Amino acid sequence: MNGKKILSQFKKGLLTRNPVFVQLLGMCSALAVTTTVVNALGMGLSVTAVLICSNVIISLLRNIIPRQIRIASYIVIISGFVTVVEMLLEAFAPTISKSLGLFIPLIVVNCIILARAEAYASKHEVLPSAIDGLTMGVGYTVALVVLAFVRELFGSGTVLGFTVFGDWYKPASMLISPAGAFITLGCIIAVVQKFLMKKEDRDFKKEGSEGKLNG
Amino acid sequence: MVDILILMFSAILIENYIFSKFLGICPFLGVSDNPSTAVGMGFAVTFVMTISSAVTYGVYYLILEPLGVEYLETIAFILIIASLVQFIEMFLRKYIPALYSALGIYLPLITTNCAVLGAAMLSIQEGHSFIESVIYGFSSAIGFTLALVIFAGVRERMALAKPPKAFRGVPIALVAAGLIAMAFSGFLGISFN
């Protein structure tokens, strides 16, 4: 695996195959924890850590785990790492652990992790699987931070807890509410779709044949 | 009795799993294309969630707590739910084939539905009694079904509309969900004290 390939994987994770904006995986946590950028970062990093670890272990064990019980085995491996992350956060970042609450243990059922285990780690070597975990995790984190940035900036007028707008700004607190989460995410996905459609058009013209978005 | 009714009411409407707690969004977006699949999925979730609330309660207070290994909660609960779903599937196929053919295809999807695991963990967190946690699981699932069915109706209408190209598909569905969530937030003002 050379540098160029890693770069293209990062591009996939960040944009063209972004887990949240394009693949629509892990929506529950994406909607729930993005009221502040700090929460989004905490959640994103936790998921990334779990994703890398589980991808590595599953890739190591891919020839040992029998096919019939693979999903159950993956879930056990993933929930082991989730418990580790949960306990680490509780010990070293109690405030984040408190505000993320239920959504930390719910990483177990986050579809991104199971999807990467099934689609990638169970078929590839250790190093590519780790890189895949990293790129997808970073893509997830970036998506969460973008969503949280918009919601925090306009919903409470702050970013990372610092006030951005002056006193004249009256926060649109609707964006912090659950309804705001759905609407903001919808709009962001629309922007991403628009961008990808343009790119597809370009690729289409360049190649003069079918678009190749289904990679 | 009044407590139980309040618990049910708030689990169904005020703290609706989809519109205020964000649990179970994946199946919510996945199977809400038409009302009949939404009802099927809703019933399957209700069935599993009620039973799993009872079983996880028992496992937590009879096994995990006496042994002092509460931190294994996540692993234990997900294993219980996964095997329970398998077991229910086998049981229904053998003894109630009519129900199996109605719910069968939705059952495997439920293992990774965060609403089921979420309900079990929230019940423990809130310190519900056995009866309360079963009722909590059941009524949360009813709230989930309600959200799914309402949204399926909206989506069916939406299929006829023509939004801008970039908004087609999921984005417009999310915006519509946001509008319904806004309506649901009206229930927040209700207090029972």
pLDDT tens digit string along A63-99? 898 888 888 888 889 999 999 999 999 999 999 998 8
| Shortest Cα–Cα distance, A69 to chain B (Å) | 12
Q: Which residues of A touch B114 (CB under 8 A)?
A: 28, 106, 109-110
Spatial CA neighbour of A137 closest among A63, A60, A41: A41
Q: Evaluate the CA torsion angle B59, B61, B66, B70 in order and state its sign.
A: positive
DSSP H or E run through B39: helix B35-59
Domain segments of chain B as ranges: 7-189
Residue of chain A with shortest Cα separation from B184: A179
Say whether A159 sits in a helix, a strand or coil.
strand
d(CA A21, CA B22) in angstroms, rounded, equals 17
Instruction: Name A207's Cβ contacts closer than 8 Å, sequence gap at least 6.
Output: none
Say which of B113, B166, B174 has its CB closest to residue A182.
Answer: B174
Q: Which two tokens stand for residue B19?
A: 């519109």
Residue pLDDT tens, chain B, 193 long: 788 888 888 888 888 888 888 888 878 887 777 788 788 888 888 988 999 999 999 999 999 988 988 888 889 999 888 888 888 888 888 888 887 887 767 777 787 788 899 999 999 988 889 999 999 999 999 999 999 999 999 988 888 888 888 888 889 999 999 999 998 888 877 766 5
CB contact (8 A) between residue B181 and residue A87: no
Say which of A28, A83, A189 has its CB closest to residue B26.
Answer: A28
**Helices within chain A (DSSP H only):** 3-11, 27-32, 37-60, 70-92, 94-100, 111-116, 126-156, 178-207
Say which of B71, B114, B122 has its CB closest to residue A28.
Answer: B114
CB contact (8 A) between residue B175 and residue A25: no
Task: Kindly give the interhelix angle for B35-59 and B73-95, rounded to the nearest 10 degrees.
Answer: 120
Task: Kindly give the interhelix angle for B35-59 and B130-158, rounded to the nearest 10 degrees.
Answer: 160
Q: Are B52 and B116 in contact (CB under 8 A)?
A: yes
Q: Let me know if residue A1 belongs to a domain.
A: no
> Does residue A88 belong to the interface with chain B, where contact is any CB pair within 8 Å?
no
Residue pLDDT tens, chain A, 215 long: 577 888 888 888 888 888 888 888 888 888 988 989 999 999 999 999 999 999 999 999 988 988 888 888 888 899 999 999 999 999 999 999 988 888 899 888 888 888 888 888 888 899 999 999 999 999 999 999 999 999 998 888 888 878 877 778 788 888 888 899 999 999 999 999 888 888 888 877 776 544 444 43
Spatial CA neighbour of A132 closest among A189, A78, A54: A54
Q: Which residues of A touch B175 (CB under 8 A)?
A: 182-183, 186-187
pLDDT of res. A1: 59
| Shortest Cα–Cα distance, A191 to chain B (Å) | 7
Q: Let me know if residue A215 belongs to a domain.
A: no
- Please state, in angstroms and as integers, the Cα–Cα distance from residue B101 to each residue in B90, B95, B106, following that order: 12, 12, 10
Q: Let me know if residue A139 belongs to a domain.
A: yes
CB contact (8 A) between residue A24 and residue B29: yes
Q: What residue type is B123 in one-letter code?
A: S
Q: Let me know if residue A112 belongs to a domain.
A: yes
ipTM: 0.86
Residue of chain A with shortest Cα separation from B117: A106
Task: Kindly give the interhelix angle for B114-126 and B35-59, rounded to the nearest 10 degrees.
Answer: 40
CB contact (8 A) between residue A105 and residue B73: yes
CB contact (8 A) between residue A28 and residue B165: no
- Please state, in angstroms and as integers, the Cα–Cα distance from residue A26 to each residue in A19, B9, B79, following that order: 8, 28, 20
pLDDT of res. A209: 46
> Does residue A183 belong to the interface with chain B, where contact is any CB pair within 8 Å?
yes
Q: Are A180 and A151 in contact (CB under 8 A)?
A: yes
Q: How many domains does chain A have?
A: 1
Show the domain range for A42: 8-207
